[in-house]
Structure 1
Amino acid sequence: MKKTWLLGFGFFSISIGWSLYNGFVPFYLNNYIASTALIGFLMTIDNYIALFLQPYIGNRSDRTQTRFGRRMPYLLIGIPIAALFFALIPFHTSLVTLIIFMVCMNLSMAIFRSPTIALMPDITPESKRTNANGVINFMGGCGAILAFSVGSLLYNIEEYLPFLAVSVIFLLALWVIFKNIKESRDALSYAIISPPKINYKSELNTPTVYLLAAIFFWFMAIQGMEALFTLYGVNELGLSKSASAFSLAFFSLSFVLSAIPCGLLGAKYGKKKVILIGIIGLVFVFLLLNWTDSVFALRAILLVGGMFWACININAYPFIVSTGSEHSFGTRTGLYYLVSSLAAIISPPTLGLLIDYFGFEILFFAAAGSMLFALACMLKVDVATGTLSKNT
Structure 2
Amino acid sequence: MRKTWLLGFGFFSISITWALYNAFVPFFLEKFLTSTALIGFMMTIDNYFALFLQPWIGSRSDRTRSRFGKRMPYLLLGMPLAAVFGALIPWHTGLLTLVLFMVLMNLSMSLYRSPTVALMPDITPEGKRTQANGVINFMGGIGSIIAFGGGAFLYERHISLPFLTSSVLTLICLAILLYAIRERRDAVSFAPAERQSSVSFRGEWNRPTVFLLCAIFFWFLSYQGVEAFFTLYGKNHLQLTEGQASFSLAFFSLAFVLGAIPSGLLGKRFGKKRIIAIGVAGLIACFAAISFIDSLLPLRVLLIVGGLFWAMININSYPFVVSLGKEESIGTRTGIYYLFSSLAAIASPPLMGGLIDLFGYSALFYVATGGMVVALLFLLGVRDSGMTRGVAAPDANRSA
TM-score, length-scaled by structure 2? 0.96
The residue that corresponds to 1:362 in the other structure is 363
The residue that corresponds to 1:326 in the other structure is 327
The residue that corresponds to 1:379 in the other structure is 380
The residue that corresponds to 2:314 in the other structure is 313
Q: Does 1:41 align with 2:41?
A: yes
Q: Does 1:121 align with 2:121?
A: yes
Q: Is the 8 A contact 1:15 1:144 kept in 2?
A: yes
The residue that corresponds to 1:58 in the other structure is 58
The residue that corresponds to 2:285 in the other structure is 284
The residue that corresponds to 1:73 in the other structure is 73
Following TM superposition, the consecutive aligned residue runs of length 4 or more in structure 1 with deviations greater than 6 angstroms are: none
State which drifts further: 84-93 or 182-191.
182-191
How far 1:129 sits from its partner (Å)? 0.5
Q: Distance in 2 between matches of 1:79 and 1:192?
A: 22
State which drifts further: 197-206 or 97-106.
197-206
The residue that corresponds to 1:13 in the other structure is 13
- Describe the shift of the 1:382–1:194 C-alpha distance in structure 2 as closer, same or farther (beyond 3 A): closer
Q: Is the 8 A contact 1:49 1:106 kept in 2?
A: yes
Q: Distance in 2 between matches of 1:154 and 1:356?
A: 31
Partner SS for 2:25? helix
How far 1:198 sits from its partner (Å)? 1.8
CA RMSD of aligned residues (A): 1.1
The residue that corresponds to 1:223 in the other structure is 224
The residue that corresponds to 1:151 in the other structure is 151
Q: Is the 8 A contact 1:156 1:242 kept in 2?
A: yes
Q: Is the 8 A contact 1:65 1:193 kept in 2?
A: no
Q: Is the 8 A contact 2:273 2:384 kept in 1?
A: no
The residue that corresponds to 1:341 in the other structure is 342
Partner SS for 1:68? coil
Instruction: Deviation per CA, 1:292-322: give whole Å up to 9, x if none.
Output: 0110000000000000000000000000000
How far 1:385 sits from its partner (Å)? 5.0
Output the amino acid matched with 2:395.
K
How far 1:390 sits from its partner (Å)? 2.9
Partner SS for 1:32? coil
Instruction: Deviation per CA, 1:42-84: give whole Å up to 9, x if none.
Output: 0000001110000000000000000000000000000000000
Output the amino acid matched with 2:130.
T
Q: Is the 8 A contact 1:206 1:384 kept in 2?
A: no
Q: Distance in 2 between matches of 1:127 and 1:268?
A: 11
Q: Is the 8 A contact 1:207 1:384 kept in 2?
A: no
How far 1:389 sits from its partner (Å)? 3.3
Output the amino acid matched with 2:366.
F
Partner SS for 2:395? coil
- Describe the shift of the 1:197–1:110 C-alpha distance in structure 2 as closer, same or farther (beyond 3 A): farther
Output the amino acid matched with 1:37.
A
Q: Distance in 1 between matches of 2:323 and 2:193?
A: 22
Q: Is the 8 A contact 2:63 2:192 kept in 1?
A: no
Output the amino acid matched with 1:365.
Y
Q: Distance in 2 between matches of 1:49 and 1:207?
A: 26
Q: Distance in 2 between matches of 1:191 and 1:339?
A: 27
- Describe the shift of the 1:22–1:385 C-alpha distance in structure 2 as closer, same or farther (beyond 3 A): farther
Output the amino acid matched with 1:353.
G
Q: Distance in 2 between matches of 1:10 and 1:383?
A: 30
Q: Does 1:256 align with 2:261?
A: no
The residue that corresponds to 2:96 in the other structure is 96
The residue that corresponds to 2:201 in the other structure is 200
Q: Distance in 2 between matches of 1:31 and 1:5?
A: 40
Output the amino acid matched with 1:290.
S
How far 1:384 sits from its partner (Å)? 7.3
Partner SS for 2:387? coil
How far 1:349 sits from its partner (Å)? 0.6
The residue that corresponds to 2:395 in the other structure is 390
Q: Distance in 1 between matches of 2:315 and 2:200?
A: 27
The residue that corresponds to 2:26 in the other structure is 26
TM-score, length-scaled by structure 1? 0.98
Partner SS for 1:59? helix
Q: Is the 8 A contact 1:207 1:385 kept in 2?
A: no
Instruction: Deviation per CA, 1:101-154: give whole Å up to 9, x if none.
Output: 000000000000000000000000111001000000000000000110000000
Q: Distance in 1 between matches of 2:192 and 2:351?
A: 44
Output the amino acid matched with 1:138.
F
Aligned residues: 392
How far 1:194 sits from its partner (Å)? 3.1
Q: Note the residue ranges of structure 2 that are not aligned, 5 or more in a row.
A: none
How far 1:382 sits from its partner (Å)? 2.5
Q: Distance in 2 between matches of 1:199 and 1:226?
A: 32
Instruction: Deviation per CA, 1:305-360: give whole Å up to 9, x if none.
Output: 00000000000000000001110111110001110000000000100000000011
Q: Distance in 2 between matches of 1:192 and 1:347?
A: 36
How far 1:193 sits from its partner (Å)? 6.3
